[in-house]
Structure 1
C-alpha cells in the first residue's frame, strides 16, 4: 500500500457515470451476502451498515455533532428520524462524507478485516489506528450511552479524502442497510435530482426464519420471550409499513425498485443473481458466477440447507408469537401459515408460494 500521505493527497479520477445501489433489508435476510456479491464486482465502492452508529445514538436519546460544529439532539426511538436518515443517505451517495455526523465518521463497529470493510478500511485505520474508538463506542452503546464526547475531529478532517476519493472513482456505489426505512428512502428520492441511476433492492424473508435466526444468535436478548415478542411485533410492523409504501413508490419510480425474497434467491442463486445484475446494469461475468457457485451452490453448507434451519429449530411458543404478529406479512409476501410444529418440521410441507 502507498504511504498514507500519498493516498490522502492523491488526485482523483471521478467516474463519468455511476449507479447508486441501495440494499434496504432487515436483520437476517441475507443482505450481507447480497452486499458481498455485488461489491466483489470490479469498479465498486461499498459501505456496510453506515447508519448503525446513528441508530445507536437514537436509541440512547443522545446527540449528534457535525464537523461544522452543528449539534442535533435526538428523540429516543427504535428507528432513526426519517429525515435525518434521508439526509445522511444523500451525503453518502454523493460522496460528501464530510457532511456526515462525526460519530458515523469516527467509529466502525465491525472488525476492519471483514471483507465488507475493504473499501473503508484505509480510512478507519487512519482515523483510529488501534480501533480504540470502535471498542469504546460498542461498550457505551450497550449501556445506552453515546461516545460523542470522546471524539476528536482532527483525524477525521485529515483522513476523510480516503473515503470520499474512493467513492467518487467507483462506477457502482453500493450501500447495505437494515436500519433504513422505506420512509427515508422516499424522502431521499424526492430530493435526488435524477433517479434514473438509482437502484434500490428491497430484500425480505420469512419472518419465522428471521426471528429464529435472531434466537439462535440471541441478538438483542431475544431468548427472553417478552423481548422476542416485542422484537417480532416491531419487525413485522416495520415490514408492513415499508411494503405498503413500496406499492406507491414503484408507481412513482417504476425502474428504481427490485423486490427480492430470500427464499427465491436460495432456490436458484444463479438465475436470481443474473436477474439482479441485469436490473442494476452490471455485467454478470465469470468471476461473479464463480462467486455465486463457491458461496451458494458448491459450498459444503449450501444456501438451500441454510434456508430451512429455522424449521428444525423453532419452538411452538415462538412459532405462535410470529404467526399472531406477522400474518399480514405472510399474506403480502406469499408465506404459508403453519400452526402445528409437526408441519413445520416436515420439509415436504411448503411454507411459501
Structure 2
C-alpha cells in the first residue's frame, strides 16, 4: 500500500517537494542578480555563480523522472507500459509563442519518444529564405529515417555536440544519460558528455518507435503532405494554434526588448496599439501567422488531403485541460501514454509564477489554466481591435472559435470566455 504523507502518496508529495526546491533555486538566481547590483561583484564572478546555479536547476529538472520513478507507491507507474507500435513519426508545427513548447514536452517526457527541438534552426537560413522549406522538409525526412550522416542533419548533430550537458537536455533529452555522459563525483549533475557520432546517433535513433520534432520556422503544412502520405514515413502533424491576440501579447514584449530573455514583470507590461503601429515587423509577423494557420486548416479539409494525419490543437484547450489534451494527442498518435507525462503535467501546470524569473518567457512551468486568457489584462481594447482587423486574422479567429471583442468591457469581462467550444 502506498505510503501516505499528509493525505498524498509518497510520489505526489515528492513531486511537490521537487517543485518547491526548483522554486527556491530560481529565487536564488534572482537574489544573485540583486547582489550583483548592490555589490562589487565582477561580471566574471557573476557569470560563474549564475552558470553553476543554472546547471543545478537544469540537472534537477532533468532528473525529476528518475527520482520519482524510484519511489514506492508511484501513482503513475501503471501507465508506464507502452505497447510496441509501428514506427510513428511526429511533427509539432507551430508559430512563435503559441504554446508549442508545452505540447512538445507532452511528447518529450515520454521515455519511449526521441524528441528533437528545432533542428531546422541549425540550417542557418533566415526565416522566409526560399530554400528553407525544402531543406527543412528533407532534414526532417532524414531524421525520421535516422540518417544522421546527411549533411543537413549532421549540422544539428555538430551543434548538439558543442553544448554543455545541461543545454543538451533542451535539444535531445534522450541522449543525456549514463551511456553518453559522466556523472559528477557528487552523483548529481553531469560533468561532461562525449561527442555522439553520426553512426552512434543513427543506432540510438533506431531504438525508438516514436520520433518527434518541433519546428516554428516553417509554418506551411503543404510542405509536409508528401511525408504524411508516404506509408514509410507515417508522419502525423500536431498543428498548434493560439488566439492571435494572446500570441501577440507574448511576442510584443520580446520584440520590444530585441528578443532578449525577459522576466515575467516585463512580459506582463500593458501593451497599447501604439506599440503595434510603431513596429511594422509586428504587423508582418501577425499577418503571416493568421494567413499560414488559416491556410493549414483549410488545406486539411480538402478531400484529397491524407486522412488521420493532421490534428489541430488550440493552445487554450491544452491549458485548460492538460491531461485531457495529452490523452487526445496519444490517442491520435495511436500509442499509449507513459506515466512520466502525467507526472510532469501534475507538477508543472499548477504552480505559481515568479515575476522576476528571467527564464519565465521560455518556461513550460506555469499555472496553465490561468495562462490561457491572461493576455486580456495586458492588451488594450484598441490593440485587440487592431489585431482582429489585421489580414485574415478575423476569419482565422472565427474559424478557430476565438470570440471577437467589440468593446473594452467585453475584453475585461473575465466571466465571458473568448474561447468557444470547438471540435476539430
> Across the two proteins, how many residue pairs are aligned to each other?
286
Alpha carbons of 1:79 and 1:241: their partners in 2 closer, same or farther (altered >3 Å)? Answer: farther
Higher share in helix? 1
User: Aligned to 1:213, what secondary structure does the other structure show?
Assistant: helix
Shift of 1:174: 0.9
User: Aligned to 1:22, what secondary structure does the other structure show?
Assistant: strand
Does structure 1 residue 253 correspond to structure 2 residue 320? Answer: no
In the superposition, the TM-score normalised over structure 1's length comes to: 0.72
Are the counterparts in 2 of residues 46 and 116 from structure 1 also a CA contact under 8 Å?
Answer: no
Are the counterparts in 2 of residues 23 and 176 from structure 1 also a CA contact under 8 Å?
Answer: yes
Are the counterparts in 2 of residues 85 and 184 from structure 1 also a CA contact under 8 Å?
Answer: no
Q: What residue number does 1:119 align with?
A: 174
1:102-251 aligned at under 5 Å gives the runs 103-107=155-159, 113-114=166-167, 115-117=169-171, 118-119=173-174, 159-180=197-218, 181-190=220-229, 192-194=230-232, 197-218=234-255, 221=258, 224-248=278-302
Does structure 1 residue 283 correspond to structure 2 residue 336? Answer: yes
> 2: distance between equivalents of 1:283 and 1:201?
17
Are the counterparts in 1 of residues 236 and 333 from structure 2 also a CA contact under 8 Å?
Answer: yes
In the superposition, the TM-score normalised over structure 2's length comes to: 0.60
> 2: distance between equivalents of 1:44 and 1:219?
36
Shift of 1:311: 0.7
Are the counterparts in 2 of residues 91 and 100 from structure 1 also a CA contact under 8 Å?
Answer: no
Shift of 1:338: 1.0
Alpha carbons of 1:112 and 1:308: their partners in 2 closer, same or farther (altered >3 Å)? Answer: farther
Q: What residue number does 1:314 align with?
A: 379
Q: What residue number does 2:404 align with?
A: 337
Gaps of 5+ in 1: 1-14, 60-76, 127-154
Q: Which has the higher Rg, Structure 1 or Structure 2?
A: 2
> 1: distance between equivalents of 2:131 and 2:250?
24
> 2: distance between equivalents of 1:290 and 1:273?
12
Alpha carbons of 1:305 and 1:189: their partners in 2 closer, same or farther (altered >3 Å)? Answer: same
Alpha carbons of 1:23 and 1:220: their partners in 2 closer, same or farther (altered >3 Å)? Answer: farther
Alpha carbons of 1:47 and 1:285: their partners in 2 closer, same or farther (altered >3 Å)? Answer: closer
Query: Residues 40-67 of structure 1, C-alpha deviation per residue, up to 9 Å, x if partnerless?
Result: 112221100111133x4244xxxxxxxx
> 1: distance between equivalents of 2:238 and 2:164?
25
Shift of 1:162: 3.5
User: Aligned to 2:200, what secondary structure does the other structure show?
Assistant: helix
CA-atom RMSD, angstroms? 3.0
**Aligned mate of 1:26, from 91, 95, 103:** 95
User: Aligned to 1:57, what secondary structure does the other structure show?
Assistant: coil
Alpha carbons of 1:189 and 1:279: their partners in 2 closer, same or farther (altered >3 Å)? Answer: closer
> 2: distance between equivalents of 1:80 and 1:245?
22
Shift of 1:80: 5.1
Shift of 1:336: 0.8
Shift of 1:229: 1.2
Shift of 1:79: 6.8
User: Aligned to 1:214, what secondary structure does the other structure show?
Assistant: helix
**Structure ranking higher on relative contact order (CA contacts 8 Å, 6+ apart):** 1
Alpha carbons of 1:341 and 1:289: their partners in 2 closer, same or farther (altered >3 Å)? Answer: same
Are the counterparts in 2 of residues 319 and 339 from structure 1 also a CA contact under 8 Å?
Answer: no
